[in-house]
Amino acid sequence: MSQLAMLRLFTRITSIGSMKRLALSFQDMPEDEEQRITVVPPLLRKEITSVQADNGDYIHGYMVNAGFADSVMAFHEEYPDVPLHFFWDKADADETTRMDETLTFHQIDDTKFMNSMAGCKAYATTAGFESVCEAMYLGKPVLMVPAHIEQDCNAHDAAMAGAGIVSDSFDLEALQRFASSYRPNSEFIYWVRSSERVIVNELEELMNPQSIITFPEFSKYVSI
């Protein structure tokens, strides 16, 4: 069984008994009535929607696998004047590892990460859904390096929405080229801001007695 087929099976299993499946996405899509799937906006933390974005001169990044640091170091050797701030989960590293004046690695810290995201000129990541959404909301071009099938799906969806480019390595040179012509997706901001209204409307619709009569074989739970 392929990874995609396994992901689909897992999604179906975890939503057994639901009347409707709410699928978070980077952009609006038509409802799939046969599969009972409705696309809804991402749910972002309030800190991101209230932070002030700024256009800095550095590339901000996040890597799950510290081994990706080799690609970052290689770029740094070729472009030493480009400031880089990367977050990693390297167990034996200090809270801040300053390689030189323009390259620094940081241990994961939510507040520090958010502030770095808000002030960067571009973002490189392993294509986690939430952080790509945050980058789009703040108007940052993104380089996505998927590490597994779920992130492959995220990267494809985000690229279709204009978030950035997809690569199999931390190709920061390609990110710089993309960033030079990047235009933020203003529709995404309105899409995110409509999340509460859209999701509450879906839940209220399911509370309608008519909905329960229409789908008597399902429970009253919703899968998101």
Output the domain CATH number for residue 150.
3.40.50.2000
Are residue 143 and residue 181 in the same domain, yes or no?
Answer: yes
- DSSP conformation class of 64: S
Cβ within 8 Å of residue 183, ≥6 positions away:
162
Are residue 86 and residue 158 in the same domain, yes or no?
Answer: yes
Are residue 171 and residue 152 in the same domain, yes or no?
Answer: yes
- Give the position of tokens 């989960």: 89
pLDDT tens for the 224 residues of the chain, in order: 687 788 777 777 888 878 889 999 999 999 998 888 999 999 999 999 999 999 999 999 998 776 788 899 999 999 999 999 999 888 888 999 999 999 999 999 999 999 999 999 999 999 999 999 999 999 999 999 998 899 999 999 999 999 999 999 999 999 999 999 999 999 999 999 999 999 999 988 888 755 544 444 433 444 55
pLDDT of residue 210: 59
Q: What are phi and psi of 103, to 5 degrees?
A: -130, 120
- C-alpha–C-alpha distance, residues 127 and 167, integer Å: 10
pLDDT of residue 217: 41
pLDDT of residue 214: 46
pLDDT of residue 224: 54
- C-alpha–C-alpha distance, residues 118 and 134, integer Å: 9
Are residue 114 and residue 162 in the same domain, yes or no?
Answer: yes
| Beta strands in 63-112, from DSSP E residues, in sequence order | 84-88, 96-98, 103-107
Are residue 25 and residue 117 in the same domain, yes or no?
Answer: no
Task: List beta partners, residue 97.
Answer: 105
pLDDT of residue 222: 46
Amino acid at 190: Y
pLDDT of residue 189: 95
Are residue 73 and residue 172 in the same domain, yes or no?
Answer: yes
Are residue 78 and residue 168 in the same domain, yes or no?
Answer: yes
Distances in Å between the Cα of 187 and the Cα atoms of 67, 102, 151, 184, 194 are 36, 34, 23, 9, 11
Are residue 145 and residue 211 in the same domain, yes or no?
Answer: no
- C-alpha–C-alpha distance, residues 213 and 191, integer Å: 31
pLDDT of residue 102: 97
Instruction: Tell me the pLDDT tens digit for each residue of 114-149.
Output: 999 999 999 999 999 999 999 999 999 999 999 889
Task: Give the chain's domain count.
Answer: 2
Can you give the residue range of the structural domain that contains 68? 46-186
Are residue 23 and residue 63 in the same domain, yes or no?
Answer: no
Instruction: Tell me the pLDDT tens digit for each residue of 65-79.
Output: 767 888 999 999 999
β-sheet with 84-88: strand ranges across: 96-98, 103-107, 84-88, 59-62, 122-125, 142-144, 164-166
3-class DSSP state of 198: helix
CA-based R_g, the chain, Å: 20
